[in-house]
Structure 1
């Protein structure tokens, strides 16, 4: 069995520290973890490694080769190499994809189904026939729902966040320990954590620490700034920053879709620029964004700043090849077992159901009691249910 990590742009976990490993080994599988191209130990992509290629146009062309279609080509090459001497009935393998890894699973099923014995996804059924704008229109709704839950749980944070934003605005941004600047808009990207188990509490803890600092010292201390930086910075994951919207592109440019869609919503007018006055900050609860990438991130974080032109070239590229073959998926014969989370903030549930209708031989585990990071936060429960679905013991 091969594990495909979420992302895009994240390497595989350390096998011995990952709950999936023992579960799979106990079921008689051999387990293979691969760092997909550009991640982990697979020639990691950074501003420095990209600069070795030449100008921004060469760098952008290189990054176009890091989507799911290229990843599954790599997987097929590895499979064929590893099984070259195997008898024909043992040449196929099983795959399991988490989040973006599930997107790769559907790409694999589209173009190389002959290499697969069975497939599993955990929160990773991609919106196959949707444009980036349609995807973000749906996910913003879920993000706003999570904001309302957050402020219902922590109503005192309405004022605390307003005060913190006012402080950041008054200082024209806060210098971060590793470089870059924490702006009001940067702070409000903390909402990307709202979709995981414990995410609301994680953000609240950061706000509480900042609130305490301001009350005692009238500034934010270095330990708190470090914690905030770790929570908002994506400097170590440039593939995630540059190619996230491209994961939804087929024959269309994203044109900074999340930014455009967000700017059309009254809750996200802060995307248009830093608040002009304190009264704007005080108008009501400030809504956090979710798993969205914005152009301003390439102005405030040092690693991303070096890649701003590259990111813009990628955002405006219109000729992305198809990632899925709907005709092939409609006649799919490889068993697909999908764990689908009703309250998924990252992969919209309704859009995922649209995909299920397009894929033959797909069985779902649908739950509203687990979050998208269940493989990490509650692995025993989600894996038990997923394998029961495979073993046909749920009914």
Structure 2
């Protein structure tokens, strides 16, 4: 390992931010092997930077999403800074932590080498990175001092892996919208996810009933015309359908409506899809900023045994409502939008994913994934755990979450229908309640 880089400090918006960089092993089973650069930003409320505050590690959603930046962070951060030094760690492969994308991965000899590399970017590696970071930030005197974690969505998955692999590193775990199935196959996850996506379609079209005709018209136009995105590729109907991912959060639930408002403009040959619509669709559909989300979205559920084998694609056949082979304008059913699903054809249609296609196929067929959760250790857990379970969460199944809650000793769930999947970002009251529950005040 190399010597950690000097700490860079800057101040803005009532916060003091200290940037840390250290090397971590690509494969933690081979500490002397290849290394990755890990980046983390420690944030403290201005005026409290010299106080002995406990640390809270933010584990963001994803996979493949970088940590929030303080100038755009959600409601939870300001609340957390009242009690903690907050650590914003870019999970490996994201942000400034050895980003993995079509450019940085281009140097691998072949798809097999790329897939073997990317197999080390799941929750187990992220947790072991966090443990090295905890020791690094604590220094000699406090290297063994545990910290708290706040896991949002996939970050909650990581928190359960943390409780399985290194519970001694945790003082408490706070989880929002992120209790995964501990034993289910990806098929179980997506079978439940499609049903929830249909329910969210109904909510959306109940709010915007006029959008059904407009969505069907867009689909019919895409079927009959060669419509090109700003990046040059053709926009397919099935890719248009993936805009339903916006239904899962309060912040973006209405995004599709305002995008459809701009859909058509009058061209020399009649109605055309507008540049504003195509640019807006590209911003929502492209994986250029988070390719690992697509590559690892199914492998995060794999724990040996059967491969994921493009689960979302296979399970989709059980839900004919999503068949958009013909829009209602041409005798088919009304367009229904999918949610948090990844398909093999996206690695053919999205320019950011095309170079990763073969590696993604290899990962989908992999069967030697290590287990992410230790059921015995979770059953005897002694770390205080509180979790917000969003009753109508489109991304994480309520029933699977509550089954998991019952398998973790001492885990206290709070089930609420007051928030969508992004509740902790929308309202500091979510973190307030989890902290009060963890302290035994509720």
Q: Same fold judged by TM-score > 0.5?
A: yes
Q: Is the alpha carbon distance of 1:214 and 1:287 closer, same or farther for their aligned partners in structure 2, counting shifts above 3 Å? A: farther
Does the aligned pair in 2 maintain the 1:126–1:347 contact within 8 Å? yes
Does the aligned pair in 1 maintain the 2:328–2:334 contact within 8 Å? no
Q: Which residue is 1:238 aligned to? A: 291
Q: Deviations over 1:53-85 (max 9, x none)?
A: 221110000000000000001011111222242
Q: Is the alpha carbon distance of 1:145 and 1:214 closer, same or farther for their aligned partners in structure 2, counting shifts above 3 Å? A: farther
Q: Is the alpha carbon distance of 1:241 and 1:261 closer, same or farther for their aligned partners in structure 2, counting shifts above 3 Å? A: same
SS at match of 1:218: strand
How many angstroms apart in 2 are the aligned matches of 1:358 and 1:223? Answer: 48
Q: Which residue is 1:229 aligned to? A: 282
Q: CA shift at 1:261, angstroms?
A: 0.2
Q: Is the alpha carbon distance of 1:217 and 1:375 closer, same or farther for their aligned partners in structure 2, counting shifts above 3 Å? A: farther
Q: Is 1:83 aligned with 2:138? A: yes
Does the aligned pair in 2 maintain the 1:160–1:211 contact within 8 Å? no
Identify which of 114, 118, 136 aligns with 1:59. 114
Please report the TM-score for the alignment, with normalisation by the length of structure 2.
0.83
Does the aligned pair in 1 maintain the 2:286–2:352 contact within 8 Å? no
Q: Which moved more, 1:277-286 or 1:46-55?
A: 277-286
Q: CA shift at 1:214, angstroms?
A: 7.9
Identify which of 332, 349, 357 aligns with 1:308. 357
Over the residues paired in the alignment, what is the CA RMSD in angstroms?
1.9
Aligned residue pairs total 385
More strand by share: 2
Q: Which moved more, 1:329-338 or 1:300-309?
A: 300-309
Does the aligned pair in 2 maintain the 1:253–1:317 contact within 8 Å? yes
How many angstroms apart in 2 are the aligned matches of 1:332 and 1:380? Answer: 27
Q: Deviations over 1:271-307 (max 9, x none)?
A: xxxx2x5668543321111000001111111121111
Q: Which residue is 1:20 aligned to? A: 76
Q: CA shift at 1:30, angstroms?
A: 1.4
Does the aligned pair in 2 maintain the 1:165–1:281 contact within 8 Å? no
Q: Is 1:255 aligned with 2:278? A: no
Does the aligned pair in 2 maintain the 1:179–1:301 contact within 8 Å? no
Identify which of 268, 271, 287 aligns with 1:218. 271
SS at match of 2:178: coil
Please report the TM-score for the alignment, with normalisation by the length of structure 1.
0.93
Q: Is the alpha carbon distance of 1:16 and 1:154 closer, same or farther for their aligned partners in structure 2, counting shifts above 3 Å? A: closer
SS at match of 1:11: coil
Q: Which moved more, 1:382-391 or 1:304-313?
A: 382-391
Identify which of 58, 71, 74 aligns with 2:126. 71
